[in-house]
Amino acid sequence: MSETRPSPGLHARLRTILQACRDRGAAGVEYGILIGAVAVVISAAVAIFGGQLATMFTGATYALRGETAPEPARMVLTYDTTAPGCADSTIALPVGGAVDGTVDWGDGTTGVPLAQGVSHTYTTTSAPHPHR
């Protein structure tokens, strides 16, 4: 009886096929890592620029419709610096985090960037001062 052995050509072909399968597996892992990195970058961009992107797309939507975008809502605070218990006429706003806006202190001081630690001292306490 003679023993049958695979031909050298078949052996080489099987080796090539197995190597290609291994390479595909490595490429799949690399693509998975790449997709994960892209997802992290997109998530970070949305977290950082999300508000600006929303404003931009809202403006574009109104422009495509031929409409004018509404003015953003304003917050108005009113303080009475003559009220009992007011030791002086300084108002400090409790601002934290990233805030986009300015302060109109109501006494001619306007355009002050709204940021952490913003405060204003009035020169007179003879009347209440509106703060916007």
Predicted confidence (pLDDT) per residue in 101-118, tens digit: 888 887 788 777 877 778
- The model carries a pTM of 0.38
59-91 pLDDT, tens digit per residue, is: 888 889 888 878 777 777 777 777 777 667 788
d(CA 14, CA 32): 27
pLDDT-derived band at 132, boundaries 50, 70, 90: very low
Predicted pLDDT of residue 126: 45
d(CA 68, CA 59): 8
Predicted pLDDT of residue 23: 60
C-alpha dihedral, 31 to 37 to 42 to 43, nearest 10°: 130
